[in-house]
Structure 1
Amino acid sequence: GLGEGIPEDKEGFIECVGIVNKIIQEEKAAGIDPSSIVVGGFSQGGAVALTSLARLEEKIAGIVALSTWLPLRESYPEELSESNKETPILMCHGGADQVVPFSWGKQSAELLSDMGRKVEFKDFPYMQHSADMEEMKLVQGFLRKVLPE
């Protein structure tokens, strides 16, 4: 959870991952190649995106996780799917974030990197729990890099 001693909602995160998987399957059925899909989110949405990475059935193009953390860290290494082992991850976090501590984002990026994931972590020292144009330009560049023409 977002605080010491507050339990994380494992069932809720797993349910959200199921929804993400379902959406990807629906897009695939509609003719969209999953390798042209990026899953992303801000704050808790970013936490869902990072949780999804370990459990998605299809190989996707990338993950964008903004002002967030990696939930379910204790069980995460056991639950890694091989389908997205090489999937690039962009994580951005504000150094002045008062909702999700900067240290959580940085430690999450380091943990994912230690597990062999391709993580790009960018800090914005002045930014609180929000987004700005500089961050969005970075996201735009990431999307251009990982998505097919």
Structure 2
Amino acid sequence: MSTALPYVEVNPQHKVEAVVIWLHGLGDSGNGFAPIVPELKLPESLASRFVFPHAPVRPVTINNGMQMRAWYDIKSLDFENRADVQGVEESAALVKKLVEEEMARGIPANRILLAGFSQGGVIAYHLGLRFEHQLAGILALSTYMCQPQMLAEQRHEANQETPVLVAHGLYDEVVPCALGKAAYNQLQKLGYNVLWREYPMQHNVCMEEIQDIGHWIKQRLG
């Protein structure tokens, strides 16, 4: 597997002061979420750079082994075993390199926010909660947690206080809302600074949610 993830970027007009790394869902690409940036209505003064990486292409078992962009394989629809742990760890390592590249460019970790939708959210959780430098925030959209029972022993104290926003559609048939709530409950139980938001939608994003995300990012990076 390649050591560097290709990505789409949306840069501010001014010198970059903060970075949002946003991970797409199964079968999508970095292009999928790039158009959301202007919709967030972030002030130009935040000087935020957005990075939308493309997941590696791999065969996905539940889609008859079809090759597509995926952060990990999905071998079964059983939620306990849905995420291929090795794939999750490999992708988390690739995204970690992107975070470290931004840090090497002079952006401190606490000015870097990790966001992910669906499969991308699984990676955002996995990396963000185990990362050894404090991040600006973790945004988990319409997603779930891989091996929630392992978090207590694997987490890193650096991100114990990091704000986490968990958002989910009430009518999500791909990742049922109960799975998003289970991840939120696990974070609450472990004492994380976590916020829950739910919306009358399916496995997608809606305008009200985008406005809430924009407001939350402003608070985290403002």
Q: TM-score range by the shorter chain?
A: over 0.9
The CA distance in 1 between the partners of 2:77 and 2:193, in whole Å, is 25
1:130 paired to 2:168: no
TM-superposed deviation, 1:51: 1.0
Secondary structure of the 1:90 match is strand
Match of 2:211, as an amino acid?
K
Which residue of the other structure, out of 160, 180, 184, is the alignment partner of 1:105? 180
Q: Aligned to 1:23, which of 85, 98, 103?
A: 98
* 88-97 or 11-20: bigger deviation: 11-20
Report Cα offsets for 1:55-78 as digits up to 9, x if no partner. 212211000110001111121211
1:37 to 112, 119, 137: 112
Tell me which structure has the larger Cα radius of gyration. Answer: 2
Q: 1:62 to 1:4 in 2, by over 3 A?
A: closer
Gaps of 5+ in 1: none
How high is the sequence identity, in percent, across the aligned residues? Answer: 36
Write the letter of the residue equivalent to 1:8: A
Give the CA deviation at 1:6.
Answer: 3.6
Deviation at 1:123, TM superposition (A): 0.8
Task: Give the total of aligned pairs.
Answer: 147
Deviations 1:69-116 (A, max 9, x none): 111112121101011110000010001000001100011101111101
For 1:13, give the aligned amino acid.
V
Q: Which letter maps to 2:213?
A: V
Decide whether aligned partners of structure 1 residues 69 and 80 sit closer, same or farther in structure 2, where only a CA change above 3 A counts: same
Amino acid at match of 1:89: V
Deviation of residue 7 (structure 1)?
5.0
How far apart are residue 14 of structure 1 and its match? 1.1
Are positions 1:144 and 2:207 aligned together? no
Q: What is the deviation of 1:8?
A: 2.9
Partners in 2 of 1:31 and 1:80 — Cα distance?
25
Q: Over the residues paired in the alignment, what is the CA RMSD in angstroms? A: 1.4
Which structure has more relative contact order (CA 8 Å, sep 6+)? It is: 1
Distance in 2 between the 1:103 and 1:54 partners? 21
Q: Which has the higher strand share?
A: 2
Q: Looking at secondary structure, tell me which structure has more helix per residue.
A: 1
